[in-house]
Amino acid sequence: MREIDRRAIEEIGIPGMVLMENAGRAVCDWIVARHRERPIVVYCGGGNNGGDGFVIVRQLTEAGLWVIALSATEPERLRGDARTNKLILEKLGIDCVPITTDAEVDGALASLPRDACHVDALFGTGLTKPIRGHYARIVDAINRRNEPVVAVDVPSGVAADSGEILGSAVRAKATITFALPKLGLLLAPGCEHVGELIVADIGIPRLVVESTKLDNHWLREAESAAAVMPRETNTHKGSFGHVLIAAGSPGFSGAALLAGRGALAAGAGLVTVASEASCRARIEAMVPELLHATLFEVGATMRFERDLVQGKSAVVVGPGLGQSDAAREIVLDLLDGCEVPLVIDADGLNVLRHRLDRLAAAQGPVVLTPHPGEMGRLIGCSSAAVQAERYRVATELASTHGVIVVLKGNRTLIAAPDGRVSICTDGNPGMAVGGMGDVLAGVIGAGLGQYGGDPFEIVSRAVHLHALAGDRARERKGERSLLPSDVIADIAEVLRTWERA
């Protein structure tokens, strides 16, 4: 975003003051539409974010609202467009109350009216170090008031590039960001401070955006829906892929069943569940639409029958597979001989611990779908360490081993070997239940099996489909009682909505 700003100003010639004016107008219009009857308190910092704040003060005042302007930076430290907009306020006779010391902060904030709307324009995308001193005092005071807060571009204290909390951070009810969302607004823990995220157009030409290399993509339903192609009338079950689900062992037949049902719900034409011998009859009795094969027998010394892969368009391996020697050999044999897209989940991922070098043998696209604990085991660290640097660990694993990584959890990340990353902000805490990942593995397998094109984009849409189905299921069942079977039922509803879009 910083590069896009620079190019718009320096190469295209759009003055920074124009972009700042447009940014202020976007925030002003949003506030006028929702908080016209409240006192508006605007906290202005010293950089461009503060300049946006000064513009907002002027425009809200012109709109007839009761505005209290607070300036947290000494006048002599203001530079560029921020200084110009502060001088404009002075010439218009609009006062800015200084809050540059602890005493000034305490005095000014103690006299503020109640039930105000607070506008955070202290720090924008340029913040790289923890908030300290009187700025931290302001942030803490804003958060204590428990009144609506609108953040300008980025909540102050959230690192725009990573979502890290730099010291302390404003908790906003809404964040109005400019031109494009920033990565830190979508990733935890920063996303917890954003509230409703509004992306405002401030007049940056489309040419500048489209000609700038953008590796990160925020998954939005309209785009996912647009990618779904209508089915031709002259088709048959073989037209929509044949997915092999290599899954299931004693005590874990449900995982194979959920993965198979997920693949069917997501539109696969044929799904074969190959499971351990004693599980097969149990699974066959549950879902008549599934085809079945015997994968291995517990305790038997046998290798995976590669003939099972023949004629399949995608393979999913791992859900409920177990930790036996036979299970390990199945995963490694698939890596050596599978030419179609291969999704490795659950127990399949555990096989790869200390064996990531075996990924190089794969002849087709490989998708790894770890939750944070599985990711930690794969790369040799704790799940807490994974959570602290989700973006880095996902992208490094993808690029180092040439695979697509789906790092599950709050704000699931889909990372491609070439550096692209999709961020899924849909989904909900009710989906944190056993079996939900098995359904996702089946949905991803179905997508890879029935669609041609870029595997990364197909996987991204599959993750998004699963998350949106979870949100629909929550509307029916709530979060505490949400089951994987509920999500499977709502996959059809999401797909029907997409087909009508």
User: pLDDT of 186-217, one tens digit each?
Assistant: 999 999 999 999 999 999 999 999 999 999 99
Question: pLDDT class for 299, splitting at 50, 70, 90?
Answer: low
- The CATH 3.40.1190.20 domain(s) of the chain lie at 222-500
Residue 2 amino acid letter: R
List the end-to-end C-alpha distance of the chain, in Å, as a whole number: 30
What's the pLDDT tens digit per position in 432-475? Answer: 999 999 999 999 999 999 988 999 999 999 999 999 999 999 99
Residue 493 amino acid letter: E
27-31, 298-302, 407-411: least confidently modelled range: 298-302
What's the pLDDT tens digit per position in 259-289? Answer: 999 999 999 999 999 998 888 888 888 888 9
| Residues 222-500, CATH architecture | 3-Layer(aba) Sandwich (3.40)
What was the pLDDT predicted at 402? 98
Contact criterion met (CB below 8 Å) for 99 and 105? yes
What's the pLDDT tens digit per position in 103-122? Answer: 999 999 999 999 999 999 99
Residues 6+ apart with CB under 8 A from 386: 372, 375, 376, 379, 393, 407
| 296: pLDDT strictly greater than 80 | no
Cα–Cα distance for residue pair 451/428, rounded to 1 Å: 27
Cα–Cα distance for residue pair 192/244, rounded to 1 Å: 39
Partners of 333 in the beta sheet? Answer: none
Residues 6+ apart with CB under 8 A from 13: none
For the chain, percent of residues with pLDDT exceeding 90:
87
Look up residue 40 and give its two tokens.
Answer: 């508006």
Residue 74 amino acid letter: E
| 302: pLDDT strictly greater than 70 | no
Query: Can you state the percent helix, strand and coil of the chain, rounding each to 5?
Result: 50, 15, 35
Cα–Cα distance for residue pair 93/233, rounded to 1 Å: 70
Predicted TM-score (pTM) of the model is: 0.94
- The CATH 3.40.50.10260 domain(s) of the chain lie at 2-213
Q: Judge if the upstream peptide bond of residue 417 is cis by omega within 30 degrees of 0.
A: no
Give residue 484's region: left, alpha or beta (phi > 0; psi -120 to 50): alpha
CATH number of 2-213: 3.40.50.10260
